[in-house]
Amino acid sequence: MKLISWNVNGLRACVKKGFMESFAALDADFFCLQETKLQAGQIDLELPGYCQYWNYAEKKGYSGTAIFTRHAPLSVSCGLGVEEHDHEGRVITLEMDEFYLVCVYVPNSQDGLKRLGYRMSWEDDFRAYLGSLRQRKGVIVCGDMNVAHNEIDLKNPATNHMNPGFTDEERGKMTELLGSGFLDSFRTLHPEERDAYSWWSFRTNARARNVGWRIDYFLVSEELRERVGGASIHPEVMGSDHCPVELVLT
């Protein structure tokens, strides 16, 4: 079973840059999107064989998540069930027979770290939400988590220390989440791999020079560890400032 996660940085724009071709080539059972930047009715995707689930932000042209799946879920929910957090379309959860699949677009701390305090509150509530799911069955979390966890996960750690996405606080929350019973599938299978990134700034020709960050993840709860058959990144897939990441579940 193949799962793909991709921050498309605006799905309508990505469709004009080859999204449908990439979707077909990646041929996933579950295809999870972040930063769709859509409202209901703004796009009509023909995806034969897939069910489509969307969570839209109330603010137009902002945030948003979606999951396309070949496997009908037992149930679908949007958000965390926390009023403060559930206006930006950041979370979709599918309950499957053997696991929960959570697609997430974690809030960015923004320039000047002006949203770092909110981000810390969001992280705690998100971790609690995942813990509540995990009491029932295994959990797979995927998406743009807006943090490079360790120095190996970005090209220039020294000059980016305390920038959004590489603050001690954000990294600490990822450490807490992993410590609560989750594993980073890519690092579990590729612990020493360097220059493996999923996001590149549009500035200074960063992608061509592979000056990037790994901020897109598949996290898997410990119950599912033995089912992790593969984890990879697809930098060859264009259309966004992020590229897709993949999990193979056996």
Within a 10 A sphere around the Cβ of 213, how many other Cβ atoms?
23
Contact 127, 91 (CB under 8 A): no
The set of residues, in sequence order, having a beta carbon less than 8 Å from that of 177 and lying 6+ positions away, is 123, 126, 127, 130, 219
Q: CA-CA distance, 194 to 151, in Å (whole number)?
A: 10
Contact 91, 107 (CB under 8 A): no
Q: Which residues are catalytic?
A: 105, 144
Q: CA-CA distance, 88 to 95, in Å (whole number)?
A: 21
Q: CA-CA distance, 213 to 171, in Å (whole number)?
A: 13
| Residue 22 C-beta-side C-alpha neighbours within 13 Å | 23
